């Protein structure tokens, strides 16, 4: 078997196949933005399994109890979803095979008969609250936030009180549009959000396996720990990319070792692991960083093709190697 991995790999077999009905674990419950994300990629016949944390969804795939997991990884306003990033890198074996975007739009929903002036407390997930707090201060002055474990959970709890004589935990829920009708609520206000363009990015995660084939518009997600003992370690790490003309579309630091000052970086590379320049950068990282975790190469949902700078195409690498071989053989 040949050793020359820098050669472009053309016959990538793709992610592991699944049985008749794909089992997809997702950050539930039903009615969340994550469920919306699932339906963007779920094949016909897929069965959805809502779970209570991103870590649990990923663990089901790890343990073979689900074929895929769908979890949020980044929000355009709030930044990275740490629970997902940390769980993925801790597992270290699972691979991302797709990404999906879902616009963040909330509905302020209540039991029928409720009016805006009735609303003194709003139940929702803290992240949803963070994205609507400005709106709430403007439209519901003095309103109190009651935390729920998810946007859907708040809606479900409120809906379950229909017809009950018990005291309501809150008068309205901030939730996903799909949760309103599902839980018997009515909208008081639609399209609520402090930032109109907010978007959440979700990923579909598979058991370990080859990546989907390169499309020319791909991402590769990795996590890199830096050497502790080098000033300028981050600079050196970034040079491993720049010297091969590889661009990054996301970089986030995560603490490691439970100590301040030690970081790993979660990174999205513009390019596919089957491309030479990406391989060369990864080889450089593997040689010089204490830990590099590969988390998958997959098509970009925005379809933006990687810019291939002069001297960084696959052919440039192939030609350069042929030149070295010829020098060693013939001078």
3-state SS class at 174 = strand
CA end-to-end span of the chain: 27
Task: Report the residue from 40, 105, 121, 254 that binds a second copy according to the rule CB under 8 A.
Answer: 254
Smallest gap from residue 111 Cβ to a second copy (A): 21
**Kind and range of the H or E run holding 276:** helix 276-288
Q: Is 91 one of the binding residues for a second copy (CB under 8 A)?
A: no
| Tokens 């769908």, residue located | 70
Looking only at residues 276 through 305 of this chain, which bind a second copy when binding is defined by CB under 8 A? 279-280, 282-284, 286-288, 294, 296
Closest CA to 127 of 160, 171, 81, 86: 81
Task: Report the residue from 90, 120, 305, 325 that binds a second copy according to the rule CB under 8 A.
Answer: 325
Q: How many residues does the chain have?
A: 331
Smallest gap from residue 113 Cβ to a second copy (A): 25
Pick the stretch among 24-32, 105-113, 178-186, 196-204 that binds a second copy (CB under 8 A).
Answer: 196-204
Question: Distance between CA 211 and CA 222 in Å, rounded?
Answer: 13
Looking only at residues 17 through 76 of this chain, which bind a second copy when binding is defined by CB under 8 A? 74-76
Pick the stretch among 24-32, 113-121, 180-188, 311-319 that binds a second copy (CB under 8 A).
Answer: 311-319
Q: How many other CB atoms are found less than 10 A from the CB of residue 84?
A: 24
Task: Report the residue from 31, 207, 271, 299 that binds a second copy according to the rule CB under 8 A.
Answer: 207
Q: Is 10 one of the binding residues for a second copy (CB under 8 A)?
A: no
Report the DSSP pairing between strands 68-75 and 95-103. unpaired
Pick the stretch among 42-50, 59-67, 179-187, 308-316 that binds a second copy (CB under 8 A).
Answer: 308-316
Looking only at residues 135 through 174 of this chain, which bind a second copy when binding is defined by CB under 8 A? 145, 147-149
- Smaller CB distance to a second copy: residue 30 or 294? 294
Question: Distance between CA 223 and CA 271 in Å, rounded?
Answer: 15
- Smaller CB distance to a second copy: residue 189 or 268? 268
Q: How many other CB atoms are found less than 10 A from the CB of residue 16?
A: 13
Smallest gap from residue 28 Cβ to a second copy (A): 14
| Tokens 């946007």, residue located | 151
Closest CA to 205 of 46, 81, 12, 25: 25
Smallest gap from residue 285 Cβ to a second copy (A): 8
Structure token digits, residue 283:
């080889």
- Smaller CB distance to a second copy: residue 43 or 255? 255
Sheet with strand 263-270: strands edge to edge = 248-255, 263-270, 218-225, 291-299
3-state SS class at 37 = helix
Smallest gap from residue 262 Cβ to a second copy (A): 9
Task: Report the residue from 44, 45, 141, 327 that binds a second copy according to the rule CB under 8 A.
Answer: 327
Pick the stretch among 34-42, 58-66, 107-115, 238-246 that binds a second copy (CB under 8 A).
Answer: 238-246
- Smaller CB distance to a second copy: residue 3 or 20? 3
The DSSP symbol for 195 reads: S
Q: Is 228 one of the binding residues for a second copy (CB under 8 A)?
A: no
């Amino acid at each position: 078997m040949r050793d020359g991995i820098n050669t472009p790999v053309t016959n990538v077999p793709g992610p592991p196949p699944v049985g008749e009905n794909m089992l997809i674990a997702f950050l539930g419950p039903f009615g969340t933005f994550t469920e919306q994300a699932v339906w963007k990629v779920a094949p016909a016949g897929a069965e959805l399994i809502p779970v209570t944390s991103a870590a649990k969804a990923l663990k089901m795939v790890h343990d073979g109890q689900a074929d895929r997991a769908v979890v949020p990884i980044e929000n355009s306003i709030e930044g990275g979803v740490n629970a997902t990033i940390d769980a993925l890198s801790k597992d270290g074996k699972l691979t991302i095979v797709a990404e999906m975007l879902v616009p963040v739009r909330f509905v302020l929903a209540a039991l029928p008969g409720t009016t805006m002036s009735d609303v003194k407390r709003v139940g929702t997930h803290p992240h949803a609250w963070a994205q609507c707090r400005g709106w709430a201060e403007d439209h519901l002055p003095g309103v109190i936030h009651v935390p729920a474990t998810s946007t859907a959970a708040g809606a479900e709890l409120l809906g379950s009180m229909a017809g009950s004589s018990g005291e309501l935990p809150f008068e309205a829920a901030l939730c996903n549009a799909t949760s309103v009708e599902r839980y018997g609520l009515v909208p008081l206000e639609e399209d609520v959000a402090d930032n109109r363009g907010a978007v959440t990015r979700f990923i579909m995660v598979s058991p370990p396996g080859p990546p989907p084939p390169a499309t020319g518009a791909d991402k590769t997600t990795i996590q890199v720990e830096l050497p502790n003992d080098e000033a300028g370690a981050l600079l050196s790490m970034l040079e491993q990319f720049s010297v091969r003309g590889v661009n990054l579309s996301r970089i986030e630091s995560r603490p490691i070792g439970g100590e301040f000052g030690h970081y790993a970086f979660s990174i999205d590379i513009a390019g596919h692991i089957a491309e030479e320049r990406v391989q060369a950068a990864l080889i450089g990282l593997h040689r010089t960083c204490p830990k590099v975790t590969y988390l998958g190469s997959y098509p970009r949902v925005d379809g933006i093709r990687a810019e291939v700078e002069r001297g960084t195409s696959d052919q440039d690498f192939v030609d350069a190697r042929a030149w070295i071989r010829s020098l060693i053989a013939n001078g």
